[in-house]
Amino acid sequence: MSFFEHLGELRKRIIYSSAFILVFFIASWRFVDKLYYWLSLPVLKYLPLLSTGERKLAYTALAEPFMMYIKVAFIFSIFAASPFIFHQLWLFISPALFAKEKKWVLPFVIATTFFFLLGGAFGYFVVFPMACKFFLNIGKDFTAIITINEYFALAFRVLFGIAAIFELPVLVFLLAKLRIVSARFLIHYFKYAVVAIFILAAVITPTPDMVTQTMFAVPMIVLYLLSIAIALTVNPGEKQHKSSADSGG
């Protein structure tokens, strides 16, 4: 395929992925208020009670509730459409693979979807509540007025940031299968990877504090170690082969 044919293929896959997202977006709009409540639970349980006995987020602009519902529906549609999006991604990269490698389509879609959803769940059930609790406890001497715009901008970055990070084992598996990276390579550059991980965590974290950065960095380091094990499993004889080659040299 020529360069422009690759661009045309990329455009096609983006259009198809966007169509799947749009379908789930429209479907989710009917119960978007319930999705909003579910996504707001990590912070609502730490907010002070109002005079009505309820806990609610605030807004400061007339259109903010509408834009917030759009963000909520979009977050849900991305996760719901993830199997279809990853399938489109596979269709885009598959022309560059050998015939036997093209048979990995089902494991690829299942694995990428699983780790993407697992990352989102980890962000929602672990990282997000810990971050909300930490910051609200720090500010317990003040009255918390958290706007929906600020909160869901944070939710978007946390959920999708961690979901994307959780794709690392799948990426390493593919690269190891294609013999682009190895366990030896990953171990050798581990200390540099840790520095890069904390830099990446500083970029994707919503606040520039060490606590939140660590919440992002620790799962990435664990996933990196898991990736080393995966690379070693994919090519178990590589480390021994390398050692023998070095001794023979």
Which tens digits make up the pLDDT trace of 48-105?
777 777 888 888 889 899 999 999 999 999 999 999 999 999 888 887 777 777 778 8
* Residue 207: predicted pLDDT: 62
Specify the amino acid at residue 234.
V
Task: Give the DSSP H or E segment for 240.
Answer: helix 238-248
Contacts of 238 (CB under 8 A, 6+ apart): 182, 183, 184, 232
pLDDT top residue among 158 and 15: 15
Gap between the Cα atoms of 234 and 229, Å rounded: 9
Residue 173's CB is within 10 A of a number of other CB atoms, namely 20
Which tens digits make up the pLDDT trace of 164-204?
889 989 988 888 887 888 888 899 999 999 998 888 887 77
The region, left, alpha or beta by phi > 0 then psi within -120 to 50, assigned to residue 210 is: alpha
Contacts of 236 (CB under 8 A, 6+ apart): none
* Residue 202: predicted pLDDT: 78
Q: How confident is the model at residue 38 (pLDDT cuts 50, 70, 90)?
A: very high
**pLDDT of 7 strictly over 90:** no
Name the burial class of residue 16, with classes exposed (0-12), middle (13-18) and buried (19+) by CB atoms within 10 angstroms of its CB.
Answer: middle
Gap between the Cα atoms of 239 and 230, Å rounded: 13
Whole-model pTM? Answer: 0.83
Gap between the Cα atoms of 58 and 145, Å rounded: 6
